[in-house]
Amino acid sequence: MYSKKVIEHFQNSKNYGKIENADGIGKVGNKKCGDVMWIYIKIENGLIADAKFETFGCVAAIATSSMAIDMMKGKPVEEALAITNKAVAEALDGLPPEKMHCSILAEEGIKAAIEDYMSKKKNN
């Protein structure tokens, strides 16, 4: 049911963990299915220098988390903000229809992490 890429990201992802003193943390969750995703980012010179995830969820939730990290790392903040759930799903060679909501969580996670960074920056 899952593409090879989904399984590969699920089984072999190295993108998980915490970033100590992260510049932004996005905490999002899906109320219906119960999945929870945290995205940590480190910003340097307007670029996403490092990013990691922590996820409680299914194969698709973990794979989309991992792919989201791959896609945002090294990108300018504005470009990362433009990453859509569809782009994440496509980069994984698609998701089963009932798992598309996991990719929405990934998009929301990226945005939440960047928003957290922006609001911290503003307050400093």
CB atoms within 10 A of CB 105: 26
Closer residue to other proteins in complex, CB, 30/77? 30
CB atoms within 10 A of CB 45: 6
Nearest distance from C-beta of residue 65 to other proteins, angstroms: 8
Closer residue to other proteins in complex, CB, 36/104? 36
Q: CA 119 from chain center: how many Å? A: 19
Instruction: Please state, in angstroms and rounded to a whole number, the distance separating the CA atoms of residues 119 and 31.
Output: 25
Residues contributing to the site for other proteins (CB under 8 A): 7, 10-11, 13, 16-18, 27, 32-36, 38, 53-62, 98, 101
Nearest distance from C-beta of residue 122 to other proteins, angstroms: 25
